[in-house]
Amino acid sequence: MSMQGKVAIVTGSATGMGRNHALEFAKRGAKVVLTDIREDKLQQTAEEVKKLGGEYLALKVDVTSSSDIDRMVQETVKKFGKIDVLINNAGAFRYGDVVDMSEQDWDLVMDVNVKGIFLCSKAVAKQMIKQKYGKIINISSIAGKTGFDKMSVYCASKFAVIGFTQSLALELAPCKINVNAVCPGIIYGTDLQEGPGGFLEADMKRIGETDREKMKKIKETWVPLSRAGRPDDVTKLILFLSSDDASWMTGQSINIDGGMEKH
């Protein structure tokens, strides 16, 4: 699917799904704006885009900072003249019982997962309204549709993303701007899943498993299609939602989970 000439902002594009989204968009001819708070890993993604011959802009951006986001929009428009696609990918996760969850952990997850999407969408929407065109894709989760044990703050944030997506889609529809959410299930190859403090470690604590590889195999048995997802599975859906083929889709929250949420 060609993205030739499109300008796409991807938040959290230093690693994992965000990195994969950015690289695949670049391969298909898009000009990509790479943003993350991890500057060293962000530059690694930028080097990969450069090797592909793609045009890019790499910016250190904290999605909870309105000044960082305003700068992101200004520099994107200055360099590329427009914004066609915003992929709100940056995310945070904390695990534990509500009675043990700190206020700081609650604030971190809600700030990144909800406030970050609000601030980025608000700033980018202003430009898209001028253009009377745009695609906003918010990353929610199957945890935005079903509550999970010891994941209360994460679930709350992802439920909020779905509600925000539905409302924003109605607001921006008159300007031909599509707003949709993607709801992944178990996705391997990401820091959020396999990194320190991620879902894998959380499930190991919950189940009492001490072997990471064994835990990964256990998790795959929870998926009706018998495998975990990979970043590319999610990227393919985002590419479709970013294309004109999805011009009559808005306000949707689409599961991509191997059948897990309905199981």
Domain ranges of the chain: 7-185+230-256, 187-228
Per-10-residue mean pLDDT of the chain, 263 residues long, equals: 95 97 98 97 97 97 98 98 98 94 97 98 98 98 94 97 98 98 95 90 91 94 94 98 97 96 58
The model scores a pTM over 0.85 = yes
Of these residues, 95, 133, 154, 188, which one is catalytic? 154
The CA-based diameter of the chain, rounded to the nearest angstrom, is 53
Nearest to 188 by CA among 180, 202, 199: 199
**Per-residue exposure over 38-70, b if at least 16 CB sit within 10 Å of its own CB, e if not:** eeebbeebbebbeeeebebbbbbbbbbbeebbe
Centre a 10 Å sphere on the Cβ of residue 27 and count the other Cβ atoms it contains. Answer: 13
Exposed/middle/buried for residue 102 (C-beta within 10 Å: 0-12, 13-18, 19+): exposed
Annotation says 154 is catalytic: yes
CATH topology of domain 7-185+230-256: Rossmann fold (3.40.50)
Q: Are 178 and 135 in contact (CB under 8 A)?
A: yes
pLDDT of residue 262: 59
C-alpha span between 183 and 142 (Å, rounded) = 5
